[in-house]
Structure 1
Amino acid sequence: MSGQVADAPAGNWVDRYAPPLLRPFLRLSRADRPIGGWLLMWPCWWSAALAALQLGHAAPNPWHLALFLIGAFAMRGAGCTYNDIVDRDIDAAVERTRSRPLPSGQVGLSAAVAWLVVQALAGFVVLLQFNAYTVWLGLASLLVVAAYPFVKRFSSWPQAVLGLAFSWGALMGWAASYGHLNSAPELLFAGCVLWVMGYDTIYACQDREDDALVGVRSTARLFGRHARAGVALLYVGAVALMALSLALADAALFAFLGLGAFMVHLAWQVVLLDVDNAGRCLRLFRSNREAGLVLFAGLLLECLVRWF
């Protein structure tokens, strides 16, 4: 199909149903690959559920959950568009990414910048629905987002910066309920950073050879043949920090069962990881959507049980 991006799932809704004029812009936003929106959303929802648990509520604030859902996809789209603008020359030199809208010529630079502004404004409107503390906290994340595309040019740890950006919601959900932070969301944030670093290392294993040719650095290249051990250590740290966060928020059985299921899912990823199998790396990366769901389900069930 004309304009289809190489690493997008075959038969995705953008390629099948979106109006032709909008397809290149939706591809810029990765709407044909929505996994990033879910991964950005889960820390927000976990944090909102953790706050609800400590407040004794039966569930997280549904209005907050809806805002985080919309905001996650809007800002993920804006972030991807920004990343593609900055990386357009690199993307043109990498086999997996040269079919993206900018390097393939589907979208011009000016149009991409305009689309970035539209998405950023949508995210800002969502952010303004929260209390002032949360608004300023959300705006602070833009510094990390802006830095991310440049880090891989000089550091082997761009996954750490991505971890900061994609984990920011672990602070936002709590702040939206309390108007401040404490150790529980801060430890959840730290655990999320390690989780993101782990799954993005798996994702980066797809591009190790091309990245070496164009000079892009990553933890996948840094760990090399020891990528499985590196991911395992990151995941162990993530679960440990999240367990401390749950304990500080007075979580009990069902929350920890959810964390246990999350841990099993991460262990399954480590066991199946093959750094030379790009297709498997992509599938394992995408499976973190389900990992996020089981942890949220445990937190939600804990809220309900405690309420009744």
Structure 2
Amino acid sequence: MSEGGRQRPVEYFATQIEAEIFAADYNKVHHHRSLPDHQTTFMEVYHRWLPAHIADTSPSQSSLDSYRNSFRHLSSLHHEPFAGLRYADYQRVLDGMRKSGLSYSSLKKVRSLISLLEKYAHKTELSNKSYAPLLSIGRNRSVRPHHVFSRQKINRLWCQADAPGVDTVLILLYTGMRCGELLGLQKADVHLRQRYIRITRSKTAAGIRIIPIHHRILPLIEARMAAPGETLIADDAGRPYNYSRYCAVWRSVMQFIRAEGHTTHDCRHTVATLLDNADANETAKRRILGHAGGDVTERVYTHKGLRQLRKCIELLK
């Protein structure tokens, strides 16, 4: 910008794409026109969409990491005009991912990001194309089936409950939380007096829920609440764990109880299986695990109070 015959900077930016977005918006607002020959790129749409999506939905950190990882997979399209992209362009990326041996889940996340960007582009009148529903990602073939923790392994955990990290596995086994939900759980969302946990950020809408605290893990949670840090699960210095750091804790505990081969998600699978074996109320089980209801009646008209949820969770022995 010129001022008194001299140029002065209007704004500073960390990346070129941020500068380009600002320049495009500045021209529209101040000069009522777009930049000459400016075509909004895939990268620009992503960087416009992400802040709006965060403001609207407050996604979890794991969701944000998923968006960024999916965006990296689409790097070959970053500088292409968004409105000019076609089905073949997106499918080529997905086919390349499949040939590289990436999982069905990774492909599904990339397709989901494409869908979100297309909806944003339609809303902002950048494009009215919708190729995401047509994209093929193959069949979901389980790379590794989930395994239920045996009663013997759960008993071993209780026998070693004072060992480092063992309490975190027991909390997962008696709440059905996802590992990411546990690691992100703030102490402010743990209500010891009423004995329940409130999940406020999850990968799904149904994941926003209340989980009663099983009487067996109440002392473990009380001990964690008294330890340093704002999150329930933190190291000795009060620093929260990310997933990669926690994986080291998990592996150590699994080796300690001779249960190598289990993943954190096996805890959820174990809770679901044990509740099912105990003939738990299906709706209460879904509420605790954060699964969407099976039909409209269950989702809209059935309400399970804390007492009913507590009755369900206490079926775990």
TM-score, normalization by structure 2: 0.24
Larger strand percent: 2
Greater radius of gyration (CA):
2
Higher relative contact order, chain-length normalized (CA < 8 Å, sep 6+): 1
TM-score, normalization by structure 1: 0.25
Larger helix percent: 1
